[in-house]
Homo-oligomer: A and B are copies of this chain.
Amino acid sequence: MAKEIVNREENYSLWYNNLVTKADLAENSAVRGCMVIKPYGYAIWEKMQAQLDKMFKDTGHVNAYFPLFIPKSFLSKEAEHVEGFAKECAVVTHHRLMTNPDGPGVVVDPDAKLEEELIVRPTSETIIWNTYKNWIKSYRDLPILVNQWANVVRWEMRTRLFLRTAEFLWQEGHTAHATMEEAIEETEKMVNVYAKFAREFLAIPVVVGKKTESERFAGALDTLCIEAMMQDGKALQAGTSHFLGQNFAKAFDVQFANKEGKLDYVWATSWGVSTRLMGALIMAHSDNNGLVLPPKLAPIHVVMVPIYKTEQEQQSIIDRMDNIKKMLEARGLTVKIDDRDNVRSGFKFAEWELKGVPVRVAIGPRDLANNCVEIARRDTLSKESVSVDGVDAYIQSLLDDIQQNIYNKALEFRINNTHKVDSYDEFKEKIERGGFLLCHWDGSSETEQKIKEETKATIRCIPTDSDFEQEPGVCVYSGKPSKGRVIFARSY
């Protein structure tokens, strides 16, 4: 085939890069660390956006838009936040170019230096809380339940398409509440929205949990997260929801008059998912033939490939396909008939497998005569002959089946690669083979740090999921008492 990809067993990392570029999802740009999201990749992201946006609105949120730039001084207002975020970022220092007086092209106009440098937002808590200050006077102005779809920039040194890029697309929710309880409830509600989205749409059986203090968002009192397992056994943090307490309200002096008329600081949450989800989606399900897309996020549900020798055969087959296409479209499905005449059908099969289209329909002259079609499913690569009568209902139910099967397979993988480990020797041995290690931990940052240094594994979360019952024990590293098991893994 034209666009070969390396086997994932051979080189997982290269397999991933091959997939992203050869399936036309994204590519590196001329700007270091910034990617171009190509139309096929963007179409998947749009489907994610549409679904998430609906879920946010169904839970009472509205969208707004805040500036791309943050005055430098804002970043240092919340002490922990600046430590975590203000370092590697894009700094705007000037606002004009001028014709180069000494040669061709343009140069920065030295007279156009900004009084205060502007930072391209790495996240928007500071500019948003500076704005909320003017929106909030009384408890009647609360809650504020705002989300923003935006681009952000973090000047990462080592970048990988979708997983870690200097610029990425995301949504960031920023809510303001009158009480601590309400803010905590919001934090939990949103991590559960993310978990539901990941499970039902991405078909990824994420684990919901809480970050340890050292893995928390800079400025948060608590960070909840969803953690996904990739096919190499590494963990990927797929979404976070932060309880920010009154930290940002205090940093930006946002007070409100409560029902009793007394002034109090506002309680905050923030939560986000990004184009990193694209990386998770790709690495969770794909195989050596290419992408495997869950039907609910596939830009094309069904591709049809005609197989013919004569022009007359071609016409009859295309007519048949047009009929089926209309029936499928009436069911809300997206269908493509690949009628290119400059490539062979084998090439087409490989290309649509590479692109992860869930269902392929092939029709040849014999199928036409038998009133049949050949249906191939991308997840299992199995094929069968199906009667044209009722084929639309058949395909729709097949798509549901594929969605469920992809999830089940990923869940089985996660279960098979999640191990209760009770000795540090076993820990060191098992971690080399990847997966989640469920271990007792004494709750100290020192132990966490030591294990990280010695094994490169971090605590992905303290699971709060009902899948993970908790019982007390002793720390796998220090032998000190532990309240329950946490998940250790190497991660992206």
Which residues of A are in contact with B by a Cβ distance under 8 Å?
Answer: 27, 29-31, 34-39, 42-43, 45-46, 62-76, 82, 86-98, 104-106, 108, 117-120, 127, 130-131, 134, 140, 146, 150-151, 153, 155, 167, 169, 342
Contacts and interface: CB of A to CB of B under 8 A. Distances in A.
Copies of this chain, tallied across the complex = 2
Contact of A96 (B27, B45, B131, B155): B155
Contacts of A118: 31, 90
Given A65-B169, A73-B105, A150-B151, 20 more contacts: A27-B131, A29-B66, A29-B131, A34-B68, A34-B69, A36-B65, A36-B67, A37-B64, A39-B63, A43-B62, A46-B63, A68-B151, A72-B105, A72-B106, A82-B106, A86-B106, A88-B96, A93-B94, A108-B117, A140-B342
A300 to B, nearest CB: 12
17 contacts: A30-B67, A30-B71, A30-B130, A31-B67, A39-B64, A42-B63, A42-B64, A72-B105, A72-B108, A86-B97, A88-B96, A89-B95, A90-B94, A91-B93, A92-B92, A92-B93, A151-B151
A137 to B, nearest CB: 13
Contacts of A98: 87
Sort A-B residue pairs by CB-CB distance and give the 5 closest, nearest first: A34-B67, A39-B62, A37-B65, A76-B105, A91-B94
B34 A120 contact: no
A72 B82 CA distance: 29
A36 B108 CA distance: 28
Nearest to A167: B68
B106 A97 contact: no
Given A117-B108, A127-B30, A63 B89 contact: no
A39 B65 CA distance: 8
A200 B96 CA distance: 39
A76 B36 contact: no
B65 A30 contact: no
Given A92-B90, A155-B95, A155-B96, A120 B65 contact: no
A169 B64 CA distance: 12
A463 B97 CA distance: 35
Contacts of A37: 64-65
B64 A36 contact: yes
A27 B150 CA distance: 18
Given A46-B63, A342-B140, A104 B117 contact: no
B29 A68 contact: no
Given A62-B43, A97-B75, A153 B88 contact: no
A104 to B, nearest CB: 7
Nearest to A117: B108
Contacts of A62: 39, 42-43
